[in-house]
Amino acid sequence: MTLLSYILITPVAGAVITGLAGRVNGLSARMSAMFFMLVGLVLSTMLMITVEGGTLVEKHAWFPALGATFHLEADGLGALMVLLTAIIGVIAVLISWHDINEKVGAFHVWVLLLQTGILLVFMARDMLLFYFGWELMLIPMFFIIGVWGHEDKLYSAIKFFLFTFTGSIFLLLALLYVYFAHAAQTGQYSFDFADLLATKLTGKEQRLIFLGMFIGFAVKVPLFPFHTWLPDAHTQAPTAGSLILAGVLLKTGVYGIMRFVFPLVPVGVAAYTKLGIALSVIGIFYGALAAFSQRDFKRLVAYSSISHLGFVTLGLFVGNASGYQGAVLQMVNHGLATGGLFLIAGILQERTHTRSFEMFGGLWKQMPTMGAFLLFFAMASLGIPGTGNFVGEFYVIAGAFLKKWWLGAVTSMGVLFAAMYSLRVFLATMHGPESVTFKKLPDTNLRENVALFSLVILLVVIGFRPSLVTAPLYWGGDKLVPQKGRSADPIGQPKKEEAFQTPAKDPNLQQKPAQTVYLPGASLRGGEAAL
Amino acid sequence: MFVHNGIPALWVIPALPALGALIIFLFSKAMSPQTAGRIACGAVGLCFGWVAFCSSSLLGLPSADAHNAPYFHQELWTWLSAGIVQSKVAFLFDRVSMVFTIIVSGVGFLIHLYSYAYMDDDEGERRYFGYLNLFVASMLILVTADNAFFMFMGWEGVGACSFFLIGHYYSKSENCAAATKAFLVTRLGDIFLILGLLLCAKLVGVSFLNLSGFESVKEMEVVKGGWGMSGHALLTIAALLLLAGAAGKSAQLPLQTWLPDAMAGPTPVSALIHAATMVTAGVYLIARFHILFVASGTGMTAVAIVGAATAFYAATCACVQTDIKRILAYSTISQIGYMVLGLGVGAFSLGLFHFFTHAFYKACLFLASGTVIHSLHHEQNIYNMGGLKSKLKGTFAAFLLGSAALAGFPGTSGFFSKDAILWSALTTGFGNPVFYGVGLVTAFLTAVYSFRLIFVVFYGAPRKDIHVHHPSPLLVWPLLVLAFFAVTIGVLNLPGFVGFKSLAWEHFFHPIFGEFQAEPKEGWTHAHEAIFALIGAAVALGGILVSYTLFGPNAKMLPEPAGNIGDVENSTPKPYKSALANFLFHGWGMDQLYAAVFVRPVKRLSMINAWVDKVVVDGVYELIGAIVRAFHSLVVSFQNGRVGRYAMVMLFGVVAVTILVMSIIPR
Amino acid sequence: MIPAYHALILSGILFCIGIVGVIARRNLLFVLMSIEIMMNAAGLAFVAGSAIHGSYDGQIFFIFILPVAAAEVAIGLALALLLYQKYKTLDLWVIARSKEE
Amino acid sequence: MMQILMFYPSAVIAVITTLMVIFSKNPVYAVLYLIMSLFAVSMVFWSLGSPFLAMVEIIIYAGAIMVLFLFVVMMLNLGQRRVDEDLRPPSGKALILPGIFATILLVQTIACLMAGHPQGGTQLLNDPVALGHAMYEKHYLGVKLAAIILLIGSIGGMHLGRAASFPDTKEKDLL
């Protein structure tokens, strides 16, 4: 048992106890959920500190017959995402304090289980375990949307479920193919990702596997044209659901591409780089344009997510260091900024029972504090320097620019479109003649201010010190990061084939102990290899 | 902590107003509006003091030689580091930064004081001061950053603050539209700037201390690595991209349309942001990247053309406006056009000098107009004013001095700075007589419209019965301070023929611009310069005279209005009888053009896109869903609880299996 | 001699008629009768087989069919009575619908 | 020859009467047509060389089982009810699909038979003793099973019938 297990067990235990507490009354369920979220936050912070500069591994036997192990691992990227999950979890519980009034216990149980699934996805290195976590995320989210959602909740919940589930079937097929291919080559069944990496796959196989895994992850991201579940799910989900969805759930798709697809099938990735870039760029503009003409607050923000996530995947697919770092930054920042916008949408809906821009307008006089927050998050969303979003988008644009100058030019226009819809969010809500419908709405209270302000602080800190986010990417050895030296070359491009070359394809390198481990008692992968 | 090895801490400069903004935002509910105002003024005042200290420290350093000016440089931490994007949070305080910081904090301080009185009865005063402080902080980051990426942080920050402050009177939707327009248009420029900076970063990096690398890029014949362009072409592209960025921020053609609308904000904001400081960021940028522009050559020509064209364009528009602030806004565009023209003909230090003088007289004019507006209860149409000379004496004095400087009245600062630019436009290697001619015509128009203001607003009889309430002293004496500088500051760079302390400013900047500063070509002497100065003075005086005959107390108003001129608003389609005047009134119809070419298509595209998403993309999935549902209803119809249906399904199965078996089993 | 398969074809025809009856009729009694027809048709096939092969096995299986048919009829008819008592009809559609409610 | 004379007319009668069963309106008539059909089938049995089974068919099927039907029909008084929806002969619409499928099935069966050509004619197997021997020696287990089925059937019939005669019985008691 290492920190990884504790982090994983915390929400599970929390779910059980919260479920029991929910039988007493709502408040105790909230308190219990909050307690376990805070414990998770503390543990995640400890993980961040522990992992610094290396990797933390934990491995137990699970299903030996299948070759499945309980293999958790956290490097810098993983620890970062775990921390993000924990932060978002705390805020989610905080913001639903008055938002959720029915079946309070059950709600928090589902939220905690959702955390479990997400954490499992971020930490698992065994593909069966990963897939388990991947599917585990679906069910709680389905119920969170379907039970505590708004007017059209069932439709959205089912749509969400069907889309992501269909996607994950492709993912499963691809994983199983690799699994059996590995077994056929070595005679040993193993779901361990490190083992699967050693599988020799032909170009055609790699392309197929890429497509399968890519569809599975792209639905979750979501990339155009798999995105249509997102606006519905976001719009109908309760505030906490939207927050978690935007904050971390979408990131699992990107994380999957980053962590599993790129190392596993470099040839496939190289073959479909153009496709990935095209879909990302389409997504950027498509989401932004669609967002601009929405009349529903949350729907607008949901479409903006598609646009932002387009930047993330673009950063991945351009295949250089700045694109990659930008992608990770944008992942984190999008979670915080869009999460903030969803919080505000939720606060507004809680007070006004509507999300329609036509009903809002001129609310600044009544809610100056919230106006300031909304202004900040809108500015963050359009990527104003000083917030993390700028750094992320800028890195991605720089990466695209390095790949092809016109790609950078096209992408940068996305920033203009981001400005269009972000300003619209703010102006349509806060500016204009004072709303006739709403008088004397209460401004944000302390609890909401805490939730929003913590997001603001994180965004600003990342905006000024982006290395807090990008430095961990290099902790576990820069396996995942495209080689820095190539793209730092002032003029000249890394060759396409080289860009995704990973040690995985080289059996000699594969055996090399690449990671350091700190905690005693953990299974020492590197150490074993050395012995 | 604040002074280390004789180097004052540069981070304090932007940190002070930022701290002020932070305090105001955090505790705004707990403090009175007056307290917020005091904190804001205090923060900027302290900042100005610190800037003065930094400046005196810098000036106190011995100048090493003519080519290396002393500067302070301070690195805090690494901000961006990925591939070509390398940037530190680091500050550079050289002579260019010094001039800009003095203006930003000094003029900013006066405008803060003025705002304290001006915004007294406004419900959003705390918010106003918070954003004003934030603006000053951003602007100071812009002008003290040591690399272009960090500068971009300030660059965007001032844009955002400009957006907040233009939309300060948020309950009017046209103010929101103006704010949005300002933000989007400048952001369009910013995108070009980003691309230009990325290109620069790829070529040599964007640290201001290392820009001399552009010279060597020029030598590269064909750049390697698939870019397939000569170094010179790349430089030109980069220069043009930066120019586009500068044009967006500085309201130059063709991105100038936002500035007249930006006058929707409070008048002190117009004075600070849209006259003195933010809009001159483009000038700063071009001055910083002068090596790139000179290396490109074509870039310089483009800059000069943009500057001259903008100067002329805005001056013509300013002549027919009826809104006092709009006149000043067009005048600002025009004057920045002069600065850009100055930069474009290679007279970098003169461009900066015009910025310096313009900051004073234009801030003075804006604040004075603010006092007028404030005294007349937010009346902005000049044709509803008149005869204010005796009622607002101090304001009139300030306005008159500011207008004189704007018009280039001989002896005022505007005369010296403008004349020097015109001289350079004629005589330097990048200049030519066309630029000079355009500049001269513009100077004439400038004199006409600036004194049109004086004559219409302050002379004659009151045109409308508005009670004039007496402005508080805080609304007057900052004007007088600014007016004093507006008149006298020209002594810093007296023309070469004067002899006494002449060209002090140019010498001061010589180490910065060095050989890139274009000097008059052979054959142009001080005697020529004196003659052209006389021509300039004559043009200015002639313009004032023409203005008197056209708009003076006894003149018939020109151009002839179509209706009651006092009712004209900025959106009035045809305020004048003359088509030309209407054309000029609407800024040569560029707003309408952009609305037709960009705004409406994008909006329509957005609607179409939303429709496509709902109907086509989602429709595909709905279709899949419908197919599945059709299967579902088919299957459900088998399970309807009727035995007969079950039997039939069974029968179907039997038939199907039999057919299958029969087709599989060979005969 | 009769060609043996003619008897089998007859059995097929009867069986198909029975099937149509089961599917198409709505009344429980007719459905039961149609089932009887089908069973009978099956019996006929057995008997024809027995005649073809000259073995008693087919006949014996016909005899086995008899108790099955009898038992089925006994239970079926008892159920019919019961249903009729409950729903006052033997219309299977009506019964199915009222079960849903 | 005699067999041919018996077979084809009986076959035709069997088919027609069976069809009448399906399409008749009145359950009593239907039962009677069914009895006729059974008689015809028993004639077919005879012509196939199984006179014993022909007798069994008449006695047990027509005599016992069909009479049971008749009783029930009479008990329910269905015959005297006005013609309800459910007693109408099936309409054309209801017959289309089952008709198509049944026809396909029939065609398949005939096709199989024609292809297979079970050659040889029928043989006379008219020996009850031999039948009995074969039954009780060779298929003793089947006899046992048949007996159990019959027993279950009779118990079930009695149980359900009892419930039917005492309508107060709850449905759950039946199961």
φ/ψ of B625, rounded to 5, equals -60, -40
Q: Does C31 touch chain B (CB under 8 A)?
A: yes
pLDDT band at D118 (very low <50, low <70, confident <90, very high): low
User: Who wins on pLDDT, B641 or A69?
Assistant: A69
Instruction: Check pLDDT > 80 for residue A205.
Output: yes
Q: Are B185 and B257 in contact (CB under 8 A)?
A: yes
* Facing residue for B641 by CB, picked from C22, C25, C99: C99
Q: Does C95 touch chain D (CB under 8 A)?
A: no
Instruction: Check pLDDT > 60 for residue A499.
Output: no
Contacts of B509 (CB under 8 A, 6+ apart): B95, B96, B348, B349, B352, B517
User: pLDDT digits over A448-474, tens only?
Assistant: 888 899 999 999 999 888 888 888 887
Q: What is the pLDDT of residue D120?
A: 60
Reference A300, options A340, A334, A345; nearest CA is: A345
Q: What is the pLDDT of residue A505?
A: 35
pLDDT band at D148 (very low <50, low <70, confident <90, very high): very high
DSSP β-ladder status, A68-74 and A56-63: antiparallel
Q: How many CB atoms lie within 10 A of CB B617?
A: 18
Q: Is C2 helix (H, G, I), strand (E, B) or coil?
A: coil
Report the C-alpha gap between B12 and B649 in whole angstroms: 84
Count: domains in chain C: 1
Report the C-alpha gap between B133 and B151 in whole angstroms: 18
Cβ–Cβ of C66/D56 closer than 8 Å? yes
CATH number at residue C33: 1.10.287.3510
Domain assignment present for C85: yes
Q: What is the pLDDT of residue D13?
A: 93
User: Which residues between 115 and 174 in chain D have a beta carbon less than 8 angstroms from any beta carbon of chain B?
Assistant: 115
Q: What is the pLDDT of residue A58?
A: 86
Q: What is the pLDDT of residue D12?
A: 93
Instruction: Check pLDDT > 80 for residue D43.
Output: yes
Q: For chain B, list residues with pLDDT below 70.
A: 1, 63-67, 219-228, 499-502, 555-559, 639-641, 666-667
Mark whether D101 and D59 lie in a shared domain.
Answer: yes
Instruction: Check pLDDT > 80 for residue D141.
Output: yes
Q: What is the pLDDT of residue A113?
A: 92
Structure tokens given for D107: 């065609």
Mark whether D131 and D73 lie in a shared domain.
Answer: no
B644 CB neighbours in chain C (<8 A) are: 22-26, 31, 92
Q: Is D168 helix (H, G, I), strand (E, B) or coil?
A: coil
Distances (CA, A) of A375 to A194, A341, B164: 46, 10, 9
Report the C-alpha gap between B182 and B221 in whole angstroms: 40
Q: Which chains are adjacent to chain B, needing at least 3 Cβ pairs under 8 Å?
A: A, C, D
Decide which of D119, D138, D153 is a domain's last residue.
D119
Q: Are B301 and B236 in contact (CB under 8 A)?
A: no
- Tally of CA atoms within 13 A in the half-sphere of D88 that contains its CB: 8
ipTM over 0.85: no
φ/ψ of B92, rounded to 5, equals -130, 130
User: pLDDT digits over A266-280, tens only?
Assistant: 888 888 888 889 999
B155 CB neighbours in chain A (<8 A) are: 385
Q: What is the pLDDT of residue B633?
A: 84
pLDDT band at D167 (very low <50, low <70, confident <90, very high): low
Instruction: State which residue of chain D sits closest to C82, comparing Cα positions.
Output: D164
Instruction: Check pLDDT > 60 for residue D139.
Output: yes
Report the C-alpha gap between C17 and D15 in whole angstroms: 8
Report the C-alpha gap between A123 and A137 in whole angstroms: 14
Q: Does B636 touch chain C (CB under 8 A)?
A: no
Type of residue found at B68: N
DSSP A433: S
Report the C-alpha gap between B354 and B349 in whole angstroms: 9
Give the DSSP letter string of B540-597. HHHHHHHHHHHHSTTSPPSSPBSS-GGG--TT-S--BSSHHHHHHHTGGGHHHHHIII
Substitution target from B637, B640, B642 for chain C, most C beta carbons within 10 A = B642
Count: domains in chain D: 2
Mark whether D114 and D158 lie in a shared domain.
Answer: no
- As beta bridge partners, residue A187 has none
Substitution target from A491, A495, A496 for chain B, most B beta carbons within 10 A = A491
Cβ–Cβ of D98/B651 closer than 8 Å? yes
User: pLDDT digits over B412-467, tens only?
Assistant: 888 888 888 888 888 887 878 888 888 889 989 898 888 888 888 888 777 777 77
- As beta bridge partners, residue B561 has B576
A373 CB neighbours in chain B (<8 A) are: none
> Per 3-state DSSP, what percentage of chain B is helix, strand, and coil (rounded to 5)?
70, 5, 25
Report the C-alpha gap between B86 and A302 in whole angstroms: 32
Q: What is the pLDDT of residue A518?
A: 29
Distances (CA, A) of D130 to A238, B377, B482, C48, D125: 82, 127, 135, 18, 9
Cβ–Cβ of C92/B644 closer than 8 Å? yes
Structure tokens given for B312: 């002329």
Structure tokens given for A105: 């216990």
Domain assignment present for C30: yes
Domain that holds residue C34: 26-96
Mark whether D131 and D111 lie in a shared domain.
Answer: no
* Facing residue for C2 by CB, picked from D4, D68, D105: D4
What is the full per-residue pLDDT of chain C (101 aa) written as tens digits? 677 778 888 999 999 999 998 888 888 888 999 999 999 999 999 998 888 888 888 889 999 999 999 998 889 888 888 888 888 788 887 887 776 66
Mark whether D114 and D152 lie in a shared domain.
Answer: no
C-alpha distance across the termini of chain A, in Å: 22
| Percent of chain A with pLDDT strictly greater than 70 | 89
DSSP C89: -
Distances (CA, A) of B568 to B264, B320, B381, B565, B571: 16, 12, 8, 5, 8
User: pLDDT digits over B353-410, tens only?
Assistant: 888 888 888 888 888 888 888 888 778 888 877 777 888 888 888 888 888 888 888 8
Cβ–Cβ of C40/D94 closer than 8 Å? no
Q: Are A373 and A456 in contact (CB under 8 A)?
A: yes
A391 CB neighbours in chain B (<8 A) are: 79-80
Structure tokens given for A268: 């496939």
Cβ–Cβ of B224/A385 closer than 8 Å? no
Instruction: Check pLDDT > 80 for residue A488.
Output: no
Domain that holds residue D156: 127-175
The mean per-residue pLDDT over the stretch A82-93 comes to 91
Q: Are A278 and A214 in contact (CB under 8 A)?
A: no
Mark whether D9 and D88 lie in a shared domain.
Answer: yes
Reference D143, options C60, B177, B442; nearest CA is: C60
CATH number at residue D28: 1.20.120.1200
Cβ–Cβ of D64/C70 closer than 8 Å? yes
Cβ–Cβ of A322/B85 closer than 8 Å? yes
Q: What is the pLDDT of residue B124?
A: 81
Reference B302, options B227, B198, B196, B209; nearest CA is: B196
- Return the number of CB contacts < 8 Å for B and D: 21
pLDDT band at D119 (very low <50, low <70, confident <90, very high): low
Instruction: State which residue of chain D sits closest to C28, comparing Cα positions.
Output: D86
Structure tokens given for D103: 């026809």
User: Who wins on pLDDT, D62 or B3?
Assistant: D62
Cβ–Cβ of B662/D102 closer than 8 Å? no
Region of residue B501 (left: phi > 0; alpha: psi -120 to 50; beta: else) = left
User: Which residues between 2 and 31 in chain C have a beta carbon less than 8 angstroms from any beta carbon of chain D?
Assistant: 2-10, 12-14, 16-21, 23-27, 29-30
Mark whether D93 and D136 lie in a shared domain.
Answer: no
Mark whether D113 and D135 lie in a shared domain.
Answer: no
- Return the number of CB contacts < 8 Å for C and D: 250
Q: Does B651 touch chain C (CB under 8 A)?
A: yes
Report the C-alpha gap between B39 and B129 in whole angstroms: 9
Type of residue found at B538: A
Decide which of D79, D103, D119 is a domain's last residue.
D119
Q: What is the pLDDT of residue B90?
A: 85
Residues recorded for chain D: 175
Instruction: State which residue of chain C sits closest to D156, comparing Cα positions.
Output: C75
Cβ–Cβ of B655/D101 closer than 8 Å? yes
User: Which residues between 35 and 94 in chain C have a beta carbon less than 8 angstroms from any beta carbon of chain D?
Assistant: 36-37, 40, 43-44, 47-48, 50-52, 54-57, 59-64, 66-75, 77-82, 84-86, 89-94
C-alpha distance from C92 to closest chain D C-alpha (Å): 8
CA dihedral B164→B166→B168→B172, nearest 10 degrees, is: -120
Burial group, residue D96, by CB count within 10 angstroms (0-12, 13-18, 19+): exposed
Instruction: Check pLDDT > 90 for residue D18.
Output: yes
Q: What is the pLDDT of residue D101?
A: 87
Q: Does C98 touch chain D (CB under 8 A)?
A: no
pTM: 0.79
Q: What is the pLDDT of residue A517?
A: 28
Q: Does C99 touch chain B (CB under 8 A)?
A: yes
C35 CB neighbours in chain D (<8 A) are: none
> Per 3-state DSSP, what percentage of chain A is helix, strand, and coil (rounded to 5)?
75, 5, 25
Report the C-alpha gap between D18 and A254 in whole angstroms: 69
